[in-house]
Amino acid sequence: MSAAVFTHRTVLLTEAVDGLAIVPDGIYVDCTYGRGGHSRLILSRLGPQGRLVAFDKDPQAVADARTITDPRFHIVHEPYAAFDAGLDALGIGAVNGVLMDLGISSPQIDDGARGFSFRFDAPLDMRMDTTRGQTAAEWLASAEQAEIAEVIRDYGEERFAKQIASALVTARGENPILTTGQLTQIVAKTVRTREPGQDPATRTFQAIRIYINRELEELSLTLPQAFRRLGTGGRLAVIAFHSLEDRIVKRFTVDAATADRLPSRLPVRAADIAEAPLKLIGKPIRASQTEVGENPRARSAILRVAERTGAALR
C-alpha cells in the first residue's frame, strides 16, 4: 500500500518572506521547515551565494527537506531551540533573517496516526519528533491530577480544566488512556458547553500537544538566540496561531524595540538616549479574507516583523 500524501498550505507565505526583505547573498534561517513552503520561496529569492538553514524536529518534515538538492540549503533535524548550536556546527555567525512559523502543520493534523487530532481514533502520541521524548499517553498515565489540570488550564485556556483532569485520573484507574478516541470521549462527557462549532476536546488536545512538545518554552528560548544572531538590518518574522504564542512574541519584540526610558524632567537630549536594538516593522499582519476562505486554518494567524538596528545589545 502506498504511503498517504498530505497537503500543506503555507500560511502568509509571501507576506512572511516579503517581511524578511531578502538580500540575495544573505544567510537566512527557517526555524520551522514544515513542508518547505517558506523555505522554497526564500531559496527562489536568494542569489548563488545565498544560504538557507532550516530546522525541524519532525522526521517526516526532515525527509521532505532532504528532497531539496539545492547546495545553498541545509536541514537540521533538531528543535529550533538548538538554534545557536545548529548554526555553530555549520560555522555560521551573523544572519540576515530568521523566520518562525509556529504551531502545528497540516500534515501533522491530517495524519491520524500521529495522534494530534480528535477527528481520528489513533494512538495517543502527539510528539512532533517521534524519535524521542514522552508520548501523550505515557504522560497521562503518570502525571499527577494537579499537573494535568495546570497544563490544560495554562496551555489550553480551558475553564473546565479541573473537571477534565479529575475525569482523566478516574478513567485511567479503570483502563489506560491509549488512544485519541478515548481522550475525546472522556473530555466530551466532562465539558457540557463549548463555543459554537468547536469540539469539546479542542482546548485539551491543544494543551497536551503544547506541553508534550515544549512549544512555548522553546519559543521563549529561541527568540533571544535569533535576536543575537541578526546582523544590522536583519529581519525577524514570526507567525503565531494562538494567543499564548503571540503574547510571547509581542512581549519580546516590543521590549527589545523600546528605548531606555528616563524621567521626563531630566535635561537629556533625545540624541543622547540609547537607540533600541530592535525596531518594529509595520503593524501585525493577518491573513486576507481570500486566504482564510481557501485555508480556514489561516484564520488565527498573525505575523509580526522586526528589524535589528545598529544599537548595541542590552
Q: pLDDT tens for residues 223-253?
A: 999 999 999 999 999 999 989 999 999 999 9
- The DSSP-derived string for 31-97 is S--TTSHHHHHHHHH--TT-EEEEE---HHHHHHHTT---TTEEEE-S-GGGHHHHHHHTT---EEE
* Domains of the chain as residue ranges with CATH: 13-106+215-308 (3.40.50.150), 130-212 (1.10.150.170)
Q: pLDDT tens for residues 257-288?
A: 997 654 555 555 555 457 899 999 999 999 99
Q: Please give the radius of gyration of the chain, using alpha carbons only, rounded to the nearest integer.
A: 21
Residue 64's pLDDT is 94
Q: Is 108 annotated for ligand binding?
A: yes
Report the DSSP pairing between strands 302-308 and 230-240: antiparallel
Mean pLDDT score across all residues of the chain: 89
Q: Which residue is associated with the grid cell 498530505?
A: 6
Percent of the chain with pLDDT strictly greater than 90: 76
Q: Is 74 annotated for ligand binding?
A: no
- The DSSP-derived string for 99-154 is EEE-S--HHHHH-GGGS--TTS--B----SSTTSS--HHHHHHHS-HHHHHHHHHH
Tell me if residue 4 falls in helix, strand or coil.
coil
Q: Is 80 annotated for ligand binding?
A: yes
188, 200 Cβ separation under 8 angstroms: yes
Cα(96)–Cα(138) distance, integer angstroms: 41
Q: Is 56 annotated for ligand binding?
A: yes
Q: pLDDT tens for residues 158-193?
A: 999 999 999 999 999 999 999 999 999 999 999 876
Handedness of CA 284, 290, 294, 299 (dihedral sign): positive
Q: Is 18 annotated for ligand binding?
A: no
Residue 3's pLDDT is 42
Handedness of CA 42, 27, 237, 224 (dihedral sign): positive
Residue 5's pLDDT is 45
Q: Is 198 annotated for ligand binding?
A: no
Q: Is 112 annotated for ligand binding?
A: no
Report the DSSP pairing between strands 278-280 and 302-308: antiparallel
212, 157 Cβ separation under 8 angstroms: no
Residues 6+ apart with CB under 8 A from 248: 216, 219, 220, 223
Q: pLDDT tens for residues 21-65?
A: 999 999 999 999 998 999 999 999 999 999 999 999 999 999 999
How many C-beta neighbours within 10 Å does residue 166 have?
Answer: 15
pTM (2 decimals)?
0.89
